[in-house]
């Protein structure tokens, strides 16, 4: 089944104060019982066909709008998980 980035997930989490995108993806993947890499693909964090890890560039290059829509966060909450603010 093809994965469609940007589609809203069935569940989400509120970000913790000072949490990074990596920590958020780990907590959310545990809650959804998905691998962190699969969750990254579903939320539009990675565009590589089969990545084996997430890079630190994600803290600077995240598509905030797509990530926020798929995780049901506000764009401000999604941006706070990165180094962009």
Q: What's the CA gap between 9 and 71, in Å, rounded?
A: 6
What pLDDT, in 10s, does the model give residues 10-69?
A: 788 899 999 988 899 999 999 999 988 888 888 887 766 556 666 666 666 788 898 899
Q: Are 25 and 40 in contact (CB under 8 A)?
A: yes
Residue 6 has pLDDT above 60, yes or no: no
Task: Supply the pLDDT for residue 9.
Answer: 81
Domain boundaries, the chain: 21-80
**7 or 41: whose pLDDT is higher?**
41
| pLDDT at 12 (0 to 100) | 86
Q: What separation in angstroms does the CA of 48 have from each of 54, 72, 73?
A: 10, 23, 23
Q: Which tokens in the block code for residue 46?
A: 């990675």
């Amino acid at each position: 089944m093809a994965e469609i980035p940007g589609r809203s997930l069935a569940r989400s989490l509120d970000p913790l104060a000072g949490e990074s995108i990596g920590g958020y993806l780990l907590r959310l993947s545990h809650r959804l019982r998905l691998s962190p890499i699969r969750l990254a693909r579903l939320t539009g964090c990675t565009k590589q066909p089969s990545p084996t890890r997430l890079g630190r560039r994600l803290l600077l290059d995240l598509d905030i709008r797509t990530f926020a829509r798929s995780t049901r966060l506000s764009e401000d909450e999604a941006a706070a998980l990165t180094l962009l603010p």
